[in-house]
């Protein structure tokens, strides 16, 4: 098979090298192990029998047994209900259930929360079948962060495995301090390059950027290429929250291709989506861009969350208070700590005053001194109301549509909604058309990831439903109920595809010699329960989950075990 044909099928030519080299020896080794174990009595720690195996490769399902010894899979065998004669201390009867590799979430924000012993099990993701999460997307983590989190995990244990990216924003902040609105000096750039190398030597899988956010938004492409070249030396990848995904959708994704191609490493467009009314249908141009790059041998992929809206906030969350505007101290504190009556009273008073409203409008639409602001980043044509108890008729409308219907300036429409509402008005900051969600979902090089944070299973209104529902939604809603893609392809997108892209050779498939990260679910009932109004609710249908051979979910109940580890490149 030629390099071009490999790329066109969504398989990355640099990945799986060790697996290919061991391909001939692993089955023989597994057979020898089984034979030796059989002669010695108990031959395994756990056998999974009777399930329908969807092994992560994309191939069709089959009935079979999975034999586990220690933290690894020994064999994936035939259909015998007794495990093919194998003996084990424990057995899971998976009759009527699907047995799949544990899911790999390549864009996840739970790792900082897991450092808190109360959250260490990561229950919300375990209940989705996720066994490995990638921390540090959007350029978040410098080497210091990776060390701190790794030390915390080692001391207390964690429920899921954690892998890391080394982050441009974290490094830039550490090296350049508060003076970010400029290019780095030669000395600063060399220090940043050294920190990328340090992160890669800690086991990071590649360089991540958050070019839409401060301080990454102040960098030039050449700076990122210089850092990406360091990651390339270690066989890493480049992952990017792109620079201007709403107002320069194609150009921002083209920058990912340029960086990957110039630096000589695989590139991934993080949480790819066509945000805003003006970008409807433009996902076709992105598909063409990615396909063109792959045709000439550049390994470009993407990840996507299966929702028609991006980050969430209350309507007050898009209002930026300039530092010199007095009387808003409680409001500024509210944006950091949570809603309060005093803060809302301050904001409503300021919005009712024409002079103060004008200052709030300028800061909210343009940022303070050119800094980050949601209205600048996405805009009125991208924000859709998800809940409004006082004005339920507005749910589903974009802010631009509300302003147009009322014949108002968009910020005036926002101001009047805030002033006239007794309860929070919630919105998604980046609305997406459903047909664009589906068009991207079926691309063979597109992974599914959550971009989610820690979920506690409550009915609390804060957050995004992706944190608790991404993977069951993919399998239950889009594969089973809607038929957008097959079960086997849905599983591939969250197992072997992300493993191969990142060069993880011991996870992402059910095969002899692989780590025993396994998700076992009911294909008839698996579904997300989280929604815009109840984003924390846990999903249903995941029955058993194993991490490194240890059950962390058994018969739908958490076991309290914390066998996760830091997965290193």
In tens, the pLDDT along 362-375 reads 999 999 988 999 99
Do 438 and 308 meet the contact criterion of CB atoms below 8 Å apart?
no
C-alpha 77: how far from its chain's center?
Answer: 32
Categorize the per-residue pLDDT at 80 as very low, low, confident or very high, splitting at 50, 70 and 90. Answer: low
Residue 14 clears pLDDT 80, i.e. is over it: no
Q: Write out the two tokens for 332.
A: 């500024």
Residue 249 clears pLDDT 60, i.e. is over it: yes
Residue 20 clears pLDDT 50, i.e. is over it: no
Strand ranges in 449-504 using DSSP code E only, listed in sequence order? none
Categorize the per-residue pLDDT at 84 as very low, low, confident or very high, splitting at 50, 70 and 90. Answer: low
The average pLDDT across 453-469 equals 96
Where is 375: in which H helix or E strand? helix 374-377
User: What average pLDDT does the chain have?
Assistant: 92
Residue 425 clears pLDDT 70, i.e. is over it: yes
Instruction: Give the three-state DSSP class for 352.
Output: helix
The average pLDDT across 78-86 equals 61
Strand ranges in 121-187 using DSSP code E only, listed in sequence order? 130-135, 161-164, 166-167
Phi, psi (deg, nearest 5) at residue 436: -75, -35
Categorize the per-residue pLDDT at 43 as very low, low, confident or very high, splitting at 50, 70 and 90. Answer: confident
Among 434, 455, 453, 440, which Cα is nearest to 493's? 440
* C-alpha separations of 199 from 55, 138, 144, 175, 386 in Å: 32, 15, 9, 14, 39
Residue 82 clears pLDDT 50, i.e. is over it: yes
Among 353, 128, 95, 139, which Cα is nearest to 227's? 139
In tens, the pLDDT along 377-401 reads 999 999 999 999 999 999 999 999 9
Residue 322 clears pLDDT 50, i.e. is over it: yes
The average pLDDT across 473-484 equals 98
Q: Write out the two tokens for 275.
A: 């945000």
Separation of alpha carbons 47 and 34, rounded Å = 13
In tens, the pLDDT along 200-218 reads 999 999 999 999 999 999 9
Across the chain, which distance is largest between two alpha carbons, in Å?
Answer: 86
Instruction: Give the three-state DSSP class for 386.
Output: strand
Categorize the per-residue pLDDT at 504 as very low, low, confident or very high, splitting at 50, 70 and 90. Answer: very high
Residue 240 clears pLDDT 90, i.e. is over it: yes
Do 64 and 53 meet the contact criterion of CB atoms below 8 Å apart?
yes
Burial label for 32, CB within 10 Å (0-12, 13-18, 19+), is exposed
DSSP character string of 262-320: HHTS-EEETT---BSGGGTTTHHHHHHHHHHHHHTT--EEEEE-SSSB--EEEGGGG--
pLDDT at 15: 43
Phi, psi (deg, nearest 5) at residue 290: -65, -45
pLDDT at 83: 55
pLDDT at 339: 75
Do 237 and 501 meet the contact criterion of CB atoms below 8 Å apart?
yes
Instruction: Delineate the domains of the chain, giving CATH numbers in brackets.
Output: 103-310+432-558 (3.20.20.140), 312-428 (3.30.1490.130)
Among 112, 158, 117, which Cα is nearest to 138's? 112
pLDDT at 224: 98
Residue 527 clears pLDDT 50, i.e. is over it: yes
Separation of alpha carbons 438 and 478, rounded Å = 9
Residue 9 clears pLDDT 70, i.e. is over it: no
pLDDT at 85: 65
Intra-chain end-to-end CA distance of the chain, in Å = 27
Sign of CA dihedral 283, 428, 539, 66: positive
Among 169, 263, 180, 184, which Cα is nearest to 223's? 184
Among 297, 325, 306, which Cα is nearest to 481's? 306
pTM, to two decimals: 0.90
Among 218, 211, 121, which Cα is nearest to 178's? 218
| Least confident residue range of 74-88, 95-109, 238-252, 256-270 | 74-88
In tens, the pLDDT along 21-39 reads 344 344 334 444 443 443 3
Residue 283 clears pLDDT 80, i.e. is over it: yes
Q: Angle CA(34)–CA(36)–CA(38) in degrees, nearest 5?
A: 65
Where is 552: in which H helix or E strand? strand 550-554
The average pLDDT across 295-319 equals 96
């Amino acid at each position: 098979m030629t390099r071009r044909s490999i790329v066109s099928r969504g398989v990355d030519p640099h990945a799986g090298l060790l697996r290919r080299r061991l391909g001939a020896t692993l089955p023989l080794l597994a057979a020898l192990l089984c034979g030796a174990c059989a002669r010695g009595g108990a031959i395994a720690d756990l056998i999974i029998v009777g399930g329908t195996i969807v092994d992560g490769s994309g191939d069709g399902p089959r009935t079979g047994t999975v034999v586990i010894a220690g933290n690894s899979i020994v064999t994936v065998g035939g259909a015998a209900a007794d495990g093919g004669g194998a003996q084990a201390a424990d057995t899971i009867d998976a009759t009527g259930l699907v047995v799949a590799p544990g899911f790999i979430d390549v864009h996840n924000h739970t790792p900082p929360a897991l450092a808190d012993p109360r959250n260490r099990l990561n229950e919300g993701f375990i209940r989705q079948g996720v066994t490995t999460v990638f921390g540090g997307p959007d350029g978040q983590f410098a080497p210091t962060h990776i060390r701190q989190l790794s030390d915390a995990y080692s001391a207390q244990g964690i429920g899921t495995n954690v892998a890391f990216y080394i982050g441009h924003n974290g490094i830039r902040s550490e090296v350049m301090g508060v003076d970010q609105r400029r290019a780095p000096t030669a000395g600063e750039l060399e220090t940043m390059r050294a920190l990328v190398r340090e992160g890669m030597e800690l086991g990071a899988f590649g360089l991540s950027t958050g070019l839409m956010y401060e301080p990454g938004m102040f960098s030039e492409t050449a700076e990122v290429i210089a850092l990406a070249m360091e990651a390339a030396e270690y066989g890493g990848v480049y992952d990017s929250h792109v620079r201007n995904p709403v107002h320069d959708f194609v150009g921002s994704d083209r920058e990912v291709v340029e960086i990957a191609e110039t630096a000589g490493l695989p590139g991934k467009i993080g949480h790819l989506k066509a945000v805003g009314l003006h970008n409807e249908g433009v996902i076709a141009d992105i598909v063409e861009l990615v396909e063109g790059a792959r045709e000439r041998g550049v390994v470009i992929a993407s990840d996507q969350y299966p929702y028609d809206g991006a980050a969430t906030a209350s309507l007050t969350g898009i209002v930026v208070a300039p530092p010199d505007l007095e009387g808003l101290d409680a409001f500024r504190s509210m944006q950091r700590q949570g809603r309060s009556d005093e803060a809302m009273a301050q904001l409503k008073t300021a919005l009712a005053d024409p002079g103060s409203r004008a200052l709030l409008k300028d800061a909210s639409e343009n940022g303070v001194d050119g800094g980050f602001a949601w209205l600048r980043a996405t805009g009125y044509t991208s924000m859709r109301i998800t809940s409004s108890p006082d004005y339920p008729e507005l749910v589903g409308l974009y802010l631009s549509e509300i302003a147009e219907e009322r014949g108002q300036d968009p910020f005036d429409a926002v101001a009047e909604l805030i002033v006239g509402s007794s309860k929070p008005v919630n919105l998604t900051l980046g609305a997406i058309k459903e047909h664009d969600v589906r068009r991207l979902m079926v691309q063979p090089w597109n992974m599914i990831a959550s971009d989610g944070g820690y979920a506690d299973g409550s009915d609390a209104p804060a957050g995004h439903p992706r944190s608790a529902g991404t993977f069951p939604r993919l399998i239950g809603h889009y594969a089973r109920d809607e038929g957008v893609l097959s079960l086997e392809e849905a599983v591939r997108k969250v197992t072997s595809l992300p493993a191969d892209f990142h060069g993880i050779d011991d996870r992402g498939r059910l095969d002899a010699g692989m780590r025993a990260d396994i998700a076992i679910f009911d294909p008839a009932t698996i579904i997300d329960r989280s929604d815009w109004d109840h984003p924390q609710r846990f999903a249903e249908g995941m029955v058993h989950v194993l991490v490194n051979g240890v059950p962390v979910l058994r018969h739908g109940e958490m076991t309290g075990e914390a066998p996760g580890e830091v997965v290193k490149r």
